[in-house]
Structure 1
Amino acid sequence: MSKTVIQIDEHALLHTLEELVALDSSFPPGASYPEMATMLERTTAHLGGTCTRIDIPEALWRAQGVHGARTNLIVRPDLAPQGAPEVTIYFHVDTAPVGDGWTRPALELTREGNRVYARGAADMKGAIAAAIAGLAALRDAGHQFEYQPVLAFCTDEEGGIYPGIRYLAEQDLVSDVIINLNGSATPRIWAGSFGSLDLTLMFEGKAAHSGRPHLGVNAIEQALPVLDALTSLKVEVEKRVSSMPPPPGSGGPLHALLNITAIRGGEKGSALPGQCEIVVNRRYAPEEDVARVRAEIHECVEASVKKTNLIGWRMSETGHLPPVENSQGMMTPRWTAAMAAGHNVPLEEFVAYGSSTSSDFGWIQHGGRGSREIMLGGLSRPDRNVHGADEFTTMEDLLGLARSIALFFDAHFHTTTKPKIPTQSNQGESKP
């Protein structure tokens, strides 16, 4: 293990986080990425090195409700000896929209005892602040870096059709070993995650005065048979299970999911709506074929539309994250041991499991080189209200993650025990 205790500058960590959460980088629309890059260039300047901005061509990411340059930032701090192997640390700089129900200012850091509240505190601006603090602490302790950290600050993880990490990977700007800090603070070894497909269904009716409904076609009312059909399909979809190991205590295997997540239509009481928009989110297992997933929903909607008076309809893909399959490798034991020591958790508590949540790292495996090793860490926990009101993290988790980063890169850190990494096993009788 590390020969000396590495002291994290708690004040500097919280100051960085305070600045980050004050800049609204919610997706949609994700309009403040250039401003976020400027802030991060300033925030990481004390680490030295170089900063490179990479803008994604608009033709790749253009979508309804999304605007502003997709500016990703790669920072190579001047920390490791020349020729040291590179390890990329991944962050996404966007957050979920603030939403309703907050009892504290969403874009201001609020500390109450051990808790730190703000949108992005757990997902994942807190991880950015913790990692920067961890690297600075290792440098200030005078320790040699075993690896050269490369900080990748990426766009559009929360949605969209072309997340930043996908573009960086396709441009071969990502190391062969990656620490993804968009994960959990719980003792976990990443065994993968499901894919996520967002499909927007637009139904065309005919607008008319609500006092003369015979002159129009109410798009919302006519879309009701589609909702019924999708609800029936949901029942069938969610019978399908995956062989991916489920989280401990989950009570059963991971299974496919289908949810209707948004409905939009109409403007006022005196007018029939001429359009109705429905958003469907489909979580699909690695065993499923995404082309068949798309086709199944299209066929379901096509059949149900025939029972209506709708003038027309169309389906568009507005978000897609492919599944992540088991990406453990030779560096996994070192990262796991660093997390165990950083968070003061026994090494044997770390187990491998997957999730029906999704990750933009599916694009790492499904595009370009698929041999990269991906390790997972972060600040999320089930009770942290990620994407909800009063999102928070704790000082223990912030400092624990900072120490984990410092230990992993510390040339003095040695591991003697490798955690047990279970193999995936069939968790159910039927598969997708």
Structure 2
Amino acid sequence: CPVAKVLRENRIVDLMNHTLLVSHSGEEVAIADSAAPIIGRDGKRLGVVLVFRDVRDEKRLQEEHSRSEKLAAVGVLAGGIAHDFNNLLMGLQGSLDLIRISCQKYPEKTDVYLSKADRAIDRAVSLAKQLLTFAKGGAPVKGLEMTRLPALVKDSAEFILHGSQIKVEYEIGDNIWGVEIDAGQINQVVNNLVNNARQAMADVGIIIIKIENLKVVKGDYADVAPGAYVKVSIRDQGCGIDPGIMPRIFEPYFTTKEAGSGLGLATSYSIIVNHEGRIEVVSELSRGSIFSFILPAVETSIESCGVAVHEDRLPVEVATGRGRILLMDDEVMIREVVSEMLGIQGYEVVTVADGEAMLEVYRSSLAKGLNFQAVLMDLSIPGGMGGREAIKLLREIDPEVTAIVSSGYSQDPVMADFTAYGFDAMISKPYRLESLISVLGR
């Protein structure tokens, strides 16, 4: 007892551990308490004063920090796996494109099998993106225009709920503000949360999705800055979440689903935090859950903005090209496949394994009057000079060079803001032939 200790020792006493106070409603409030003697002018002790301080925000921040450390630990492993995985996918993706083009004379024999391979690659790419999110290599690549969030949310929800008996009701506020986001990542968040709701409801019932503008003032949240936000809430009529597991639902690989991966909510958490937003859940057993997230916004109403779209599948008319391309990548498979892809389209391709070789080849070609239409550089070269270092030296040789950065993983923000680092364009691995031709043709 702090009072007894003060009376006994006649000094200020702080408790080592937080104390829980229980209100009349049964709510537990974490406090830090201390006690101090009250000393009169004559030096005699008149009494003891107790001080209770609400430390719920501090505890929440500590829990957030602990959760972030766990995610960071997973990120170290996930980043390496995803990097190698994406390189393998790049080789496979390019090979499939080559097969499809070379076998167009016999589409009835090849198209079905190639389409199945495409779907398998799509699933693998989705997994790689989730792993990259933990490693911060999945940093948001924000669009050049504001995104109209209601349209994105509706498209995502309808896609996930296609074929189910669940009805969606939307409550969308007036003049929703614009948000600068990575539309693909936020689409992934909505997919995860709506799919969670669908599974909790066993494909029957109503999901209510609410979108509203929100002004956050100092003191509202301890982990986001004051300002303008857009809030998205997804309410389901499912079974609710056991209070005992609530602190763990955003941890990677934690799942209560028999066939679940445990990545969905952890991925969503990381994406929203990387967007400088906040995600939370309120749940009641047998009544359902409400998952909400907020994203920083600009207080401007927008009527139409670009949102993420799904890529078309080959076969498509891929434009032919002409010119010399210098390709730098440490993976032999990628150099071979991309060289073949571009060669079929009419380009002459020179390949090198690292930045030093790239600079030597470029300087030598320039001296002979042989120009390159573009230089395609891998951002990270283990044990060698990657694109980030090489671009500065390349610009010194030729300030007018067209430089394109490519990566499946990086802890740098280069892919999100490539122009600030000296590049003219970017393309993420694994990429399709038509995407590469499109970038080269800009």
TM-score when normalising by structure 2: 0.21
The structure with more helix, counted as a fraction of residues: 2
Query: Greater CA radius of gyration, 1 or 2?
Result: 2
